[in-house]
């Protein structure tokens, strides 16, 4: 795989110009993250650098604006995504400088609420060339309107989105709206001529999470027609 550990967050490919993947991780387990990185390489057969950001308070740091509790144990959402993104930008700049790399592209990826954040970040910074929103929480109240009324900081060269085919089959009406809202966002992007790839995966929100993330990042690294 030709990758060497630099610190707890960053792994660097042997090619200093390899794309850099910024993953807002759904796991805090180092072994699980290493396994995911291996899966990405096996699927893409592409060298890449990766900066892993984990140990995150999701409801605080990944929510774009405040919203009340929407289910038992879900919320309230504090809406500090902009502050977290500034921190992430600083992390990326520091690691690029320390590791002396010049990545050909920088991508951001995440799952669930981190997938929502990955998409949201493309509207707030020109750092990223594209992103993977894997089973993204596009049910988040107000997000579809945000997409319709805002522009990307720069057009993503590659944008990947996915969803599970049973994710909308839940009792909570907000969560159940995820498929319809994802399709609304996709329609908006296609009308804008955005290079977006969408995959519908089998299963509910918690099905085959690592593989969904690996597929998303692999698509960013290899591209598609």
Domain ranges of the chain: 3-222
User: What confidence score (pLDDT) does residue 11 get?
Assistant: 58
Residue whose token pair is 């096996």? 42
First CA to last CA distance, the chain: 26
pLDDT tens-digit series, residues 146-195: 999 999 999 999 999 999 999 999 999 999 999 999 999 999 999 999 98
> Rounded CA gap, 185 and 211, in Å?
23
Smallest CA-to-CA distance from 219 within 20, 19, 44, 22 is with 44
Smallest CA-to-CA distance from 48 within 29, 7, 20 is with 20
158 touches 129 (CB < 8 A): yes
| pTM, 2 dp | 0.93
pLDDT tens-digit series, residues 63-111: 999 999 998 878 899 999 999 999 999 999 999 999 899 999 999 999 9
pLDDT over 90 (residue 2): no
CATH, domain range 3-222: 3.40.50.1820
């Amino acid at each position: 795989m030709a990758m060497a550990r630099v610190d707890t967050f960053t792994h660097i490919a042997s090619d200093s110009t390899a794309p850099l993947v910024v993953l807002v991780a759904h796991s805090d387990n180092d072994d699980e993250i290493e396994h995911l990185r291996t899966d990405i390489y096996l699927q893409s057969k592409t060298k890449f650098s990766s900066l892993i950001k984990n140990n995150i308070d999701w409801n605080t740091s990944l929510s774009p604006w405040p919203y009340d509790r929407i289910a038992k144990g879900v919320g309230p959402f504090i809406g500090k995504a902009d502050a977290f993104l500034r921190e992430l930008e600083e992390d990326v700049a520091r690691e690029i400088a320390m590791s002396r790399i010049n990545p050909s592209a920088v991508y951001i990826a995440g799952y669930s609420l981190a997938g929502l954040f990955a998409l949201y970040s493309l509207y707030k910074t020109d750092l990223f060339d594209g992103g993977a929103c894997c089973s993204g929480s596009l049910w988040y109240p107000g997000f579809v309107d945000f997409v319709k009324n805002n522009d990307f900081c720069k057009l993503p060269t590659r944008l990947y989105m996915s969803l599970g085919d049973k994710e909308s089959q839940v009792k909570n009406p907000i969560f159940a709206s995820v498929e319809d809202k994802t399709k609304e966002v996709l329609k908006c992007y296609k009308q804008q001529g955005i290079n977006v790839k969408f995959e519908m995966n089998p299963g509910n929100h918690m099905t085959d999470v690592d593989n969904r993330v690996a597929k998303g990042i692999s698509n960013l690294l290899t591209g598609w027609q």
